[in-house]
Amino acid sequence: MTQPFSPRRQSRWGLAVLADALLVTVLLAALARFCLTTYLQPFYYDLLAVSFAPTGGLLPIPLLPALGVCVGAGLTATAVWSLPRFRWLAAGVLLAAAGGLLYYHRLLLSWGALALWETLSILFTDATGFPGYFVWDALLSPTLRQQAIQSLLAAATALYALALAWAVVRLRRFWPVFALTLPWLIPAFLAEVELDWPALMAVCACWAALLLASLSARAGRDAGARVALLALPASLTLILGVSLAFPRQDYVQPTWATAARDELLALDWFASGSPLEGGFSDTPNGGTEALAEPEVDLSAAGPRRYTGRAVLQVEATHAGPMYLRGLVYSDYTGSAWTGLQIHTLSGQAAQALDGAAQGLSAARIQSLSGSSTLAYLPYRTVQVQDVSTAPAAALALPEAVAAYSVSYLPLKGEPIPEGELDSAVLEGGLSRYLEVPQQASAFLHAWYQQAQWELADSGVQPAGGATGPYAWQLNTAALIAQLLARNAQYDLGAPAVPEEEDFVSHFLGESGRGYCVHFASAAALLLRLEGIPARYVSGYAVNIPGSGQAQVLDSNAHAWVEIYLEGYGWYPVEATPSVPSQEDPEPQPSATPTPTPAPFTTPSRDPESTLEPDATLPPQQTPGEQAETEAGTPIWLAWAIPLLAVLAAPWVLWGLRRLGWRRLERRPDANAAVLAAWVWFQQLERWGGQAGPMARELAGKARFSQHILTPEERGQMLAELGQEILRVRQGLPMWKRLPFALLFPLP
């Protein structure tokens, strides 16, 4: 007999749907805002907060359209799971349609996945040192990169909305919803990045409302809905009041937490061997043995890999790019850089400098690999450990220390004469910084002239725009960096130079591939040919964010060139190129000799390669296909692995459940086996099954009495469970029998 229409019942059903839709949409919108502002905003609003931006930059993801997608997906998913009948069929139709769209746009979505992975790896590696930078080699324009990421996030939101609405509408339990939403927040807490507090408060308010509503859900769906509608605004008001009463700006981290963080940072997470895998380290790990390194063995400059290990912790009052000079070499032999120059810090502690009055900045540099006597210093350092000094080479501390403080003048604009001459230069002269081995000199002259002719024929203007007293030196350095970028490819996988071959000649004349060691060595010799004193320097290149704190990773290891400017001293020159954007096919140096690049790109952490001027993508080859053929990791793997995991998941579930049934039969403890079978009965109730009187009696004996059940009683329990499983299976429609068989397999 058909039940009469009940307006009251319909109103209760509408109230429950309203509460469910509100919870789902608020959760989706809050999580979307949290992820966009916490994980992506630093890349397009505050570039000083990250070490470098992805190639081509990252355009902002519009927030209002993103929230609109969340609201639409949330309402649709809630409506599907609130259907009185055929809800699984409707969900299946939506999933099938989504699968078709995903397959049709698979290339764009794969670009979005790789671009998003690259962006997040930069953020979390800067904050924690893990998991290490992932750099995508495809050259996408900022617009196409934004479109790919937006498409991926929209597709992920639609699929995630179905799962979240299922947990809210059908399960009506707090813990499944909590498990689905918490993972989006955990990375931000672990990385200690700036959080989006309004979004976080909205998520917490939804959690509180769900927790309270789940306690009343047993009384009826409408009871839980009323509690949720009342608890959500009340929870949000309470959380907002607590936040206003105890502002987060006044929070001070306790001493024990700070000490624990420092101890964790000091641990040697990669204790085995060098921090660089497959190559050589041009910067020592620290310790007194670092100062004994007599040379940079260029024959060991093979393929380089990084572990993501943090080696230094830097706290500075001046934000922006910073070179930390370590070791300095003057003599090139064709297979090595030798002539290591070391000065030892000596003198009495000086009076504290008035940094504000003199334009000084302060920095504290801590070694995370143990105590060391080698000091990595920013340029124009004037004081180390309260001792006045102006080091023009590597600086050795009197004793090994784990941390030291420095005062320095940040590099700003073009250098100007200061009337000071380096005492080491006065003593030894500049001739050693102008020497080029005879076996390389003729080749370099010919290569340099040919490269300039090709640049002139191309119609491209020579780099360099310096106008100060050192304009000739700086513009020459910029031109050399431009020529190297046009004629050589940045590649961390460059092979080692064959024995008995000149390192620079082989790099420019044969391989045409290399990284900072190759480019710095070549630039130093070319500068010497032009009559500019130059030398090879190794250390770290890092970007200090607005917070003033930065971790220096092994991937920050870098090599560059210093040129001598009379009346000023040694000045850093960047010769290693970076990759141009797709709209700018002409490669440019990553930084001109002026020290104010924005944003600062650390070449040794950016293993992307430049395209030669004549090397363009074939018309039939898309940027995504270019990444597949050159990046080393085929794009199809990004789809094959998840697809295989999805296909294997049902069989894994079936195998685990079948193994669980066998354990029920073979478990030595009959009482424990009966209780485990009772759990199966409870799971079976959701499909319309129920335990009989005998099963209830046996479960009660196993749980509450001292009676030890016999194997025969266990067999009776399992027999009744098997019969009930068969009965329920026969009563299910065909489309439900497959998932039921996966959850309740019988031998």
| pLDDT at residue number 75 | 94
Q: Is residue 415 domain-shared with residue 439, that is, in the same domain? A: no
Asked if 298 contacts 352 with a C-beta cutoff of 8 angstroms, the reply is no
Is 631 inside any structural domain? no
**Residue 455 CB partners (closer than 8 Å, separation 6+):** 462, 482, 483, 486
Q: Would you give the DSSP letter of residue 577?
A: B
Tokens for 652, please give them: 């894994």
Mean pLDDT, residues 581-607 taken together: 36
- 636-651 pLDDT, tens digit each: 555 566 667 777 777 7
- Whose CA is closest to 125, among 513, 640, 551? 551
Asked if residues 196 and 31 have their Cβ atoms less than 8 Å apart, the reply is: no
Give the domain range for residue 658.
Answer: 636-743
Is there a single domain that holds both residue 62 and residue 200? yes
- Range with lowest mean pLDDT among 231-240, 278-287, 467-476: 278-287
pLDDT tens digits, residue range 355-391?
554 678 999 999 887 778 888 999 988 899 888 887 7
The pLDDT of residue 184 is above 80: yes
- pTM of the full predicted structure? 0.48
Averaged over 55-64, what is the pLDDT? 70
| Same domain, residue pair 119 and 35 | yes
Residue where a domain stops, chosen among 371, 402, 432: 432
Nearest-10 crossing angle of helices 106-128, 623-630? 60
* 554 assigned to some structural domain: no
Whether 506 has a pLDDT exceeding 50, the answer reads: yes
Question: Is 10 among the domain residues?
Answer: no
Helices 438-458 + 516-529 axis angle, to 10: 90
Do residue 704 and residue 644 come from a single domain?
yes
Flag whether 8 is in a domain.
no
What pLDDT is recorded for position 359?
78
Q: Tell me: the pLDDT tens digits for 660-681?
A: 888 888 888 888 888 888 888 8
Over residues 193-209, the mean pLDDT reads: 89
Q: Which residue has the tokens 């390192």?
A: 503
Residue 542 lies in a domain: no
Shared-domain flag, residues 617 and 651: no
pLDDT computed for residue 270 by the predictor: 40
Whether residue 729 has pLDDT greater than 90: no
- What is the pLDDT at residue 539? 92
pLDDT at residue number 187: 85
- Secondary structure (3-state) at 448: helix
| Residues 373, 330 share a domain | yes
Task: Please indicate, yes or no, if residue 237 is contained in any of the structural domains.
Answer: yes
Judged against a pLDDT cut of 60, whether residue 440 lies above it is answered with yes
Q: What is the DSSP string of 63-128?
A: HHHHHHHHHHHHHHHHHHHT-SS-HHHHHHHHHHHHHHHHHHTHHHHHHHHHHHHHHHHHHHHHHH
Q: Which amino acid is at 401?
A: V
**Tokens standing for 311?**
């080696």
Whether the pLDDT of residue 656 is over 70: the answer is yes
Please check the confidence at residue 62 and state whether its pLDDT lies above 70. Answer: yes
> Coil, helix or strand for 384?
strand
> What is the arithmetic mean of pLDDT over 124-147?
69
Contacts of 475 (CB under 8 A, 6+ apart): 462, 463, 464, 465, 466
Indicate whether 640 and 709 sit together in one domain.
yes
Strands 342-344 and 394-401: parallel
Among the listed residues 618, 580, 432, the one whose alpha carbon sits nearest the alpha carbon of residue 56: 580
Residue 5 lies in a domain: no
Taking the C-alpha atoms of residue 536 and residue 301, their distance in angstroms, rounded to an integer, is 15
Same domain flag for 426 and 440: no
CB 718 within 8 A of CB 677: yes
CA distance to 316, 361, 375, 539, per residue, from 409 (Å) = 12, 6, 17, 18
Domain-ending residue, one of 197, 232, 248: 248
Note whether 116 and 219 are same-domain residues: yes
Of 355, 504, 524, the closest CA to residue 440 belongs to 504
**Do 566 and 590 have their domain in common?**
yes
Q: Cα(740)–Cα(725) distance, rounded to whole angstroms?
A: 9
pLDDT given at position 263: 57
Percentage of residues of the chain with pLDDT beyond 70 = 74
Using the predicted structure, report yes or no on whether residue 740 has a pLDDT greater than 70.
yes
3-state secondary structure 206-247: HHHHHHHHHHHHHHCHHHHHHHHHHHHHHHHHHHHHHHHHCC
Do 395 and 449 share a domain, yes or no?
no
- Max avg pLDDT among 116-120, 317-321, 649-653: 317-321
pLDDT at 285: 41
Confidence band for 412, pLDDT divided at 50, 70 and 90: confident
Sign of the dihedral defined by the CA atoms of residues 202, 204, 205, 210, in that order: positive
Residue 275 pLDDT > 60: no
Distance CA 550, CA 564 (A): 29
Of 229, 248, 267, the residue that ends a domain is 248
Q: Let me know whether 487 and 610 are in one domain.
A: yes
pLDDT tens, position by position, 164-180: 999 999 888 889 999 99
551 in any annotated domain: no
Question: What is the average pLDDT across 139-156?
Answer: 84
Rounded percentage of the chain residues whose pLDDT exceeds 90: 24
How many structural domains does the chain have? 4
